[in-house]
Amino acid sequence: MSAPPRRRAAAAGFTLLEVLIALVVIALGLLGFAMLQTLSVRYAQSANLRTQATNLAYDLLDQARANRSYAAQYTAITAGSFGGVTGSDCSRPVAVVTPAASMARWRCQVRATLGGGANADVVLAGPQMTVTIRWSDARGAVGEVGANSNGSVSIGTRL
């Protein structure tokens, strides 16, 4: 009598190929998650700058609304009027606060909050005042990136 044929033992566990495929799938998932996190931080910073610019525009409009008789003086705020504004000392004047002092402080706040390339324009057309603020939004990649003013907010109100 001959011996019965031996049965091959069933394979147990994982093969090296299966382990490598699982590692590749996990690595791709983690890479996608890291990219998602990077974009989230980028867009959150861009949204923060837009919120800050909106708050600054409303602040200037409130100043003009509080002193309507001097509202026309606020049109002196133009992109060219930001030359020499560093944004390093935005202290409030201790003496009488004039529209010129308020505008100087506001320009300083714009530069301190939104960066060195930020600027603004104020337009008064009858009772309608519009404040447009521009800044470089390299993180949001709105338009061209670099020293270009590519983030923009325009807020208007009736005085």
List, for residues 4-30, the tens digit of each pLDDT value. 666 666 666 778 889 999 999 999 999
Let me know if residue 2 belongs to a domain: no
Tens digits of per-residue pLDDT, 39-86? 888 888 888 999 999 999 999 999 999 888 999 999 999 999 998 888
Helical packing angle, 16-66 and 99-114, nearest 10°: 180
**pLDDT of 157 strictly over 90:** yes
Let me know if residue 8 belongs to a domain: no
Separation CA 136–CA 93 (nearest Å): 29
Let me know if residue 55 belongs to a domain: yes
| Per-residue pLDDT at 42 | 83
Separation CA 149–CA 112 (nearest Å): 15
| Per-residue pLDDT at 8 | 65
Name residue 121's beta-bridge partners. Answer: 132
Count how many domains the chain has. Answer: 1
Separation CA 115–CA 80 (nearest Å): 16
Hey, is 26 helix, strand or coil? Answer: helix
Separation CA 64–CA 128 (nearest Å): 11
Separation CA 29–CA 133 (nearest Å): 40
| Per-residue pLDDT at 149 | 53
Q: Are the C-beta atoms of 77 and 64 separated by less than 8 Å?
A: no
Tens digits of per-residue pLDDT, 96-152? 778 888 999 999 999 999 988 899 999 999 999 999 999 988 765 544 444 555 788
Let me know if residue 29 belongs to a domain: yes
Range of the domain at 89: 16-158
Name residue 132's beta-bridge partners. Answer: 121, 154
Let me know if residue 5 belongs to a domain: no
